[in-house]
Amino acid sequence: MRGIIIAGGEIGNSDRCRAIIKNDDMIICADSGYYHVAAMGVEPHAVLGDFDSADYDEVKCNTKLLFPSGKDETDTELAVRYALEQGCDKLVFLGLMGGRVDHALVNVFILADMLNRGIDAYIFDGTSYIYITDSRIDVKGKLGDLLSVIPITPKVTGITNGGLEYPLNDFDMEMGFSRGVSNVFVQEDAFVEIKSGMVLVVTTALENMVE
């Protein structure tokens, strides 16, 4: 089962985010993420958090889980835990970016935790898709779309890509190295493969950048 976790960050295009949600997905809102789904006309399966940014009484959902404000986890982390407890083995995150930088960074690195747990997961902010891989990832895009590979471990070895304008073949990168930024799709199917380490893979549709 796939879980859609919606947090209270920015959503660049609600129509694109709404299009990702399927009828058989489990919709879980982290606190004010509820307002995003309400605006989309989607009924959540659960809304949870400390409700410091959403009004508990305003939330219309059969499952509302209130946590103390002094909790150790963020609301998004609580939503992840709930999704896994419900049997979700795939996760899509919406509304995780924008706003506070510290929250956005923590949210991105939730993907690393999901990778280590064997959970297929990605973030979509309405403009870009964000993935983390330590092996290989296959992605789709249109000609001219952008793809960036960003090392998030001190060294990443054996980076190879395909379907992109600027090829890499068994290439090594260190954290902070920018050569992997803004590659370009020349085929609709592209891939990034690495031998060791961990990378962020970010794809951005060209049409999203020019609207």
Out of 126, 156, 173, a domain closes at 126
Is there a single domain that holds both residue 116 and residue 198? no
pLDDT tens-place string over residues 111-167 = 999 999 999 999 999 999 999 999 999 999 999 999 999 999 999 999 999 999 999
Q: Where are the beta strands (DSSP E) in 39-180?
A: 46-49, 64-66, 90-94, 120-124, 128-133, 136-140, 146-151, 155-162, 171-174
Task: Based on the fold, state whether residues 6 and 29 are members of the same structural domain.
Answer: yes
Given this model, what pLDDT does residue 209 score? Answer: 52
State whether 77 and 168 are in the same domain.
no
End position of a domain, from candidates 66, 95, 126: 126
**Residue matched to tokens 């799709």:** 185
Range of the domain at 97: 2-126
Quick one: pLDDT at residue 86?
98
Residue 176 and residue 78 share a domain: no
31 and 72 in a common domain: yes
pLDDT score of 208 more than 80 = no
On whether the CB atoms of residues 122 and 129 are closer than 8 A, the answer is yes
Query: Are 75 and 146 in the same domain?
Result: no
Residue 104: is its pLDDT beyond 60? Answer: yes
Percent of the chain at pLDDT > 70 equals 98
- Rounded distance between C-alpha atoms, residue 201 and residue 1, angstroms: 24
Inform me whether the pLDDT recorded for 211 exceeds 60: no
Q: What's residue 156's pLDDT?
A: 97
Q: Give the mean pLDDT of 62-89.
A: 94
- Chain segment 158-167, per-residue pLDDT in tens: 999 999 999 9
What three-state secondary structure class fits 166? coil
Domain boundary among 126, 153, 175: 126
**Tens digit of each residue's pLDDT (9 = 90 or more) over 13-23:** 889 999 999 99
84 and 9 part of one domain: yes
Number of domains in the chain: 2
In terms of domains, do 110 and 147 share one? no
Q: What is the CATH number of the domain that holds 25?
A: 3.40.50.10240
Based on the fold, state whether residues 173 and 116 are members of the same structural domain: no
| pLDDT value at 72 more than 90 | no
pLDDT(210) > 50: no
Question: Same structural domain for residues 142 and 162?
Answer: yes
Q: Are residues 64 and 167 in the same domain?
A: no
Residues 161 and 75 in one domain: no
